[in-house]
């Protein structure tokens, strides 16, 4: 495949600490119980509007929860984050082999760009596409659709760590390689239709080449 779409959180970078800290602040501020951190790992990847409701936030309070979350995330939380070992080498090798690389994330696009620039990953990508700050483009399916509209990324393959990546790509006829170092499980990825799994960036590189 010459066009490779990458998820961000849980695939390129380990964003769990910042996301969980900000989600906990929102729940606590709204007077809700803050579950153990392991239970809150599901905040990494899916759209916030969906996940907050799963943790007891009433529909009329979801936008307030997101506002509280972002009040901490934008100045601090998004940089409580680090690239997974081997990611720089993976991306460099794929570029050298002639592939065109893209990011498709349900994180707001401006935040995704800031994170990728901070950690030196942005130059590897031909286009970085993310969600809007409102609900007009807030799912992986919508983000991938937007990316395809903006680029000539035909005959693509997706790389991601959760079922949201697999299903979002499948809606556009794109297959997904699931990575097991992120926040989904091998069982979840396989059940949702991932074509195959990679257990390390080195193994992913071998599959893609």
How far is 156 from 173, CA to CA, in rounded Å? Answer: 9
∠ CA 56-60-64 to the nearest 5 degrees? 85
Q: Is 7 a catalytic residue?
A: yes
Question: 7, 14, 138, 165: which is the annotated catalytic residue?
Answer: 7
Burial class (CB in 10 A: 0-12, 13-18, 19+), 15: buried
- Contact between 173 and 153 (Cβ < 8 Å): no
Strands (E), 109-160: 127-131, 156-160
CA distances from 130 to 7, 20, 46, 60 (A): 10, 20, 12, 25
Q: Rounded to 5 degrees, what are φ and ψ at 95?
A: -65, -40
What's the gap between Cα 85 and its chain centre? 17
**Chain CA centroid to CA 209, Å:** 23
Count CB neighbours of 3 within 10 A: 19
Catalytic residues: 7
């Amino acid at each position: 495949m010459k066009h490779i779409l990458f998820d961000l959180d849980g695939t390129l970078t380990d964003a769990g600490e910042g996301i969980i800290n900000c989600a906990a602040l929102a729940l606590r501020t709204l007077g809700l119980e803050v579950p153990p951190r392991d239970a809150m790992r599901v905040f990494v990847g899916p759209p916030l509007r969906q996940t907050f409701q799963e943790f007891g936030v009433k529909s009329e309070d979801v936008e307030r929860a997101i506002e509280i979350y972002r009040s901490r995330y934008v100045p601090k939380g998004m940089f409580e984050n680090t690239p997974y070992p081997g990611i720089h080498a993976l991306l460099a090798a794929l570029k050298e082999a002639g592939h065109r690389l893209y990011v498709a994330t349900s994180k707001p696009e401006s935040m995704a760009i800031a994170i990728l620039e901070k950690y030196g990953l942005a130059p590897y990508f031909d286009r970085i596409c993310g969600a809007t700050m409102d609900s007009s483009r807030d799912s992986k399916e919508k983000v991938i659709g937007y990316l395809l509209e903006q680029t000539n990324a035909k005959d693509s393959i997706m790389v991601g760590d959760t079922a949201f990546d697999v299903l979002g790509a499948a809606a556009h006829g794109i297959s997904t390689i699931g990575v097991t170092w992120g926040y989904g499980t091998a069982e979840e990825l396989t059940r949702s239709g991932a074509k195959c799994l990679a257990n390390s960036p080195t193994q992913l590189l071998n599959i893609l080449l």
